[in-house]
Structure 1
Amino acid sequence: MIPWGEGGGTDTYARQMAPIMEDPLGQSIEIDNREGAGSMLGSEWLVQQDNDGYTFGTVNPPGWSFTWRAQEVDGWHPDDLEPIAHSGVFGYTLIVNDDAAEEAGIDDFGSLRDAYADDEISGFGYQGAGSDSHLTTLMLRDEYGLEYDSAVPYDGGGPTMEAVIGGEVAAGFATNTSAVAAEESGEATAIVNLMDIDLDHVFSGIDPISDYGDSLAWITEFYQVQVAPPDTPEDVRETIMEAVQEATEDEDTQEWEEETGNIVEFGDMDDAADQYVGSVDEIESQVDDAIGGFDEFQRMVDEEEDEEE
């Protein structure tokens, strides 16, 4: 289960590794995209599934933990899910529609900011209302001067990427993974790296957001963590964990990593637990330090809605 639409970062990793996992598992793997509510719909569905080992999913803390806390989800907690493994690290970039970029002379964050301020471009896409991407969008507006005229939420990186490629919005969020596909389309270009991880080897000359303010890595860098429904036995999870390890170490995956710049790394069951168990408390602390807490985030969202009305 992938709690995002097709074409985003989490989905792209899954589609690379799932076929390789089938042989060690002795089972075929069907990828089930259950997007909506910033990954919460699919995650809630996973919590309710049987614990027989035939269903597992990939989540992406700390962004996943942020969204759970921001939406004040009832009935389940991220810590309820059982750890399996983690398989990589990815994060956010900003992409811009090539036609809009050419017309407005956009090639870095400064020129993107100027184009919005001068009303040369319109629309900015982000990945899910109430999500980490939503907060980052508001922070880019309030602390980095990105004066977009309207911000539009989409269900994940794939739909946001398609909106930028199609010109529905001039620019928006992509994971570094889906930004590769955006560039390959010939219709959009990655221009800003929101992570601390260097992406220049993938997107030559990409502009780091840290040149314009504080690091955003605490909310723009994510782990790919495989999890199972509550009470899935440890020995069952170990079987899946071993298949994840084989997939991350496979020659085809290593070539994919080199070609795309996606970061593939294996972490075992304990490493996976370290990435998300207790992550809600950690993200609460980070949000408090950054903007004054989740109540302030809600105030920012409400203010945004009032301005749009």
Structure 2
Amino acid sequence: MERRTFLKTTGAMSTVGIAGLAGCTGDDDNGEFPSENLTWMIPWSEGGGTDAYARQLAPLMEDPLGQSVQIDNRPGAGSLQGSEWLHGQDPDGYTFGTVNTPGWDFTWRAQEVEGWDVEDFEPVSYAGIFGYTLIVNNQHDISDFGELRDAYADDEISGFGFQGVGSDSHLGTLLLRENYDLAYDTAVAYDGGGPTQEAVISNEVAAGFATNTSAVAAEESGEATAIVNLMDVDITDTFPEIDSITNYGDSLAWITEFLQAQIAPPGTPEEERQIISEAVREACESEDSQQWVEETGNIIEYGTMEETAERLDGVVDTIESEVDAAIGGFDEFLRIVEEES
């Protein structure tokens, strides 16, 4: 499969390296941060797109940090379970996590979470762009969205998988039915991209949501194919034959295209966050990461702490406006979710 390379660094490069930042913050052990291992919380199961990025970058952050970075998968509630856990961790810089905005903000708003706010967290960096595709089990010999739509309409296939009740992909599933005539018989919620992908590969459901990152693994299994790009980002160098949802209606990028943002617990000092951000930058720019994007077609894009703050600011308000236009608002979305649960 032909791949393309995406490696971009945005904004001005920091003139302060890791060595220059280390030692400028307080630490109970030796006056330098970090003096022990760091934990990178991923609020999804192993095998999904977010997990794949973290497992690529984490080892490459260890040399500049001088400590190991351990991945901690905490799936549940469409990424909110892990986010709530992260919110309650000590703000000492030793724990941070990844969220996928705007999907994360959407799910938080849709589930009407109390006790913490998405705006409570401290920005660190962002490391990539990815989003949703539709994958289909190869037993059904379906190559584009039109054929998928016809197969459901004619009862030739059964089951459609998405990633969590009340999540962004749940809304996407409803929009595909209401606005793009995808008449699936049953929609099944799974806990993240890995389980959804496995359900399609095993033919437990005929088709479903997968990120472009995990869709590569689905195709490499020989059991499933990515047939529809739900983003605006062009991924035809990775999936040369992939169809686009914009051939059938309006763009869905506002709910299907994500920025992988690293965040820290509320109150985490800027100095510690800057050190982590610089380590993310070095990992993104490494030769290993460049080779990874060449092999997979994944999009690595580093953003500074300040740029991440700008990208996270006001997302919930924007999402509320988009949901109102798309489906009549969150109250209507939640009514449909409850009705179909």
What is residue 87 of structure 1 aligned with on the other side?
Answer: 127
Q: Does 1:56 align with 2:92?
A: no
What is residue 225 of structure 1 aligned with on the other side?
Answer: 261
Runs of 4+ aligned structure 1 residues displaced above 6 Å come to none
Q: Does 1:117 align with 2:157?
A: no
**TM-score (normalizing by structure 2):** 0.87
What is residue 190 of structure 1 aligned with on the other side?
Answer: 226
Deviation at residue 302 of structure 1 after TM alignment: 2.8
Identity %: 71
Query: Could you tell me which amino acid in structure 1 is paired with residue 271 of structure 2?
Result: D
What is residue 247 of structure 1 aligned with on the other side?
Answer: 283
Residue 75 of structure 2: which of 35, 40, 53 is its match? 35
Query: Could you tell me which amino acid in structure 2 is paired with residue 64 of structure 1?
Result: W
Alignment deviations for residues 119-159 of structure 1 (CA, whole Å, 9 cap, x no partner) = 11111000010000000000001110111110011111111
Q: Does 1:45 align with 2:85?
A: yes
Q: Does 1:133 align with 2:169?
A: yes
**TM-score (normalizing by structure 1):** 0.96
Q: Distance in 2 between matches of 1:22 and 1:302?
A: 45
What is residue 24 of structure 1 aligned with on the other side?
Answer: 64
Q: Distance in 2 between matches of 1:145 and 1:71?
A: 26
Deviation at residue 291 of structure 1 after TM alignment: 1.5
Q: Does 1:75 align with 2:108?
A: no
Q: Distance in 2 between matches of 1:38 and 1:152?
A: 14
Q: Distance in 1 between matches of 2:178 and 2:326?
A: 12
Compare CA radii of gyration and give the structure with the larger one: 2
Deviation at residue 304 of structure 1 after TM alignment: 2.4
Alignment deviations for residues 141-199 of structure 1 (CA, whole Å, 9 cap, x no partner) = 11101111100111111110011011111100000000001001111000000001111
Deviation at residue 54 of structure 1 after TM alignment: 0.8
Q: Does 1:202 align with 2:242?
A: no
Secondary structure of the equivalent of 1:205? Answer: coil
What is residue 298 of structure 1 aligned with on the other side?
Answer: 334
Query: Could you tell me which amino acid in structure 1 is paired with residue 47 of structure 2?
Result: G
- Unpaired segments of 5 or more residues in structure 2? 1-40
Deviation at residue 289 of structure 1 after TM alignment: 1.8
Residue 65 of structure 1: which of 78, 101, 105 is its match? 105
Q: Which has the higher helix share?
A: 1
Q: Distance in 2 between matches of 1:60 and 1:302?
A: 24
What is residue 296 of structure 2 aligned with on the other side?
Answer: 260
Deviation at residue 274 of structure 1 after TM alignment: 1.6
Q: Distance in 1 between matches of 2:68 and 2:325?
A: 45
Q: Does 1:7 align with 2:43?
A: no
Secondary structure of the equivalent of 2:226? Answer: strand
Deviation at residue 31 of structure 1 after TM alignment: 0.5
Q: Does 1:153 align with 2:189?
A: yes
Q: Distance in 2 between matches of 1:112 and 1:136?
A: 16
User: 1:4 touches 1:11 (CA, 8 Å); kept in 2?
Assistant: yes
Deviation at residue 22 of structure 1 after TM alignment: 0.7
- Unpaired segments of 5 or more residues in structure 1? none
Query: Could you tell me which amino acid in structure 1 is paired with residue 203 of structure 2?
Result: G
Secondary structure of the equivalent of 2:73? Answer: coil
